[in-house]
């Protein structure tokens, strides 16, 4: 831990079979400790695996990248409280889903480099706080469902950027 931040970097994970799963859970970090994760799956297979990253209750920085085209992996990032920065990147033909759930705090969620061919299941939830959600819908065939709290007290003021209405099928 440097400056109260645990740094975890795995830039060449190679998941080989559908039962190969990666789970990194920093939710038990206490005090002023936070986590920085930089995880990249470079597998040569398209098998469906789960990559699940969970942050702490402080300001975390979490980056998850799926580098294999046509991967069926389920990519899940959950941050805790704190002003977190979450970035998810995939190839342009990711078949699995992308799920991002941020906790309380002014979070930044960046999925401008993420696509998914999955028809349903790719969800982004900002949580309490004034969050910024960066989408890339221009030219991408990804359907993200952005989930908001039921009231301002449960949500905050969220900003969605990079959203461009297409010719059909867009809902705001």
The predicted-structure confidence for 19-29, as pLDDT tens digits, reads as follows 788 999 999 99
33 pLDDT more than 70: yes
Residues 96, 25, 67: CA angle, nearest 5 degrees: 35
pLDDT value at residue 127: 86
Task: Read off the pLDDT band of 169 (50, 70, 90).
Answer: low
pLDDT value at residue 141: 60
pLDDT value at residue 121: 81
Task: Read off the pLDDT band of 64 (50, 70, 90).
Answer: very high
List the one residue out of 111, 117, 73, 110 whose CA is nearest residue 93.
Answer: 117
* pTM of the model as a whole: 0.88
90 pLDDT more than 80: yes
| Strands 61-66 and 85-89, bridge-based pairing | parallel
For residues 16 and 80, which has the higher predicted lDDT (pLDDT)?
80
Do 90 and 100 contact (CB within 8 A), yes or no? Answer: no
140 pLDDT more than 70: no
Return d(Cα 71, Cα 116) in angstroms, integer.
9
166 pLDDT more than 70: no
Task: Read off the pLDDT band of 2 (50, 70, 90).
Answer: low
Task: Read off the pLDDT band of 106 (50, 70, 90).
Answer: very high
């Amino acid at each position: 831990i440097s400056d109260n931040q645990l740094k975890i970097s795995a830039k060449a994970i190679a998941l080989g079979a559908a039962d190969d799963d990666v789970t990194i859970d920093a939710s038990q970090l206490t005090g002023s400790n936070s986590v920085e994760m930089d995880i990249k799956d470079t597998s040569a297979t398209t098998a469906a695996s789960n990559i699940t990253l969970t942050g702490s209750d402080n300001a975390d920085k979490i980056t998850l990248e799926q580098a294999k085209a046509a991967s069926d992996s389920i990519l899940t990032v959950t941050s805790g409280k704190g002003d977190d920065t979450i970035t998810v990147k995939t190839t342009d033909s990711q078949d699995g889903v992308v799920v991002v759930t941020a906790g309380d705090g002014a979070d930044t969620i960046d999925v401008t480099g993420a696509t998914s061919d999955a028809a349903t299941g790719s969800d982004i939830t900002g949580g309490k706080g004034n969050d910024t959600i960066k989408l890339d819908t221009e030219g991408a065939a990804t359907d993200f469902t952005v989930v908001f709290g039921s009231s301002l007290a449960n949500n905050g003021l969220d900003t969605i950027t990079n959203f461009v209405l297409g010719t059909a099928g867009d809902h705001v």
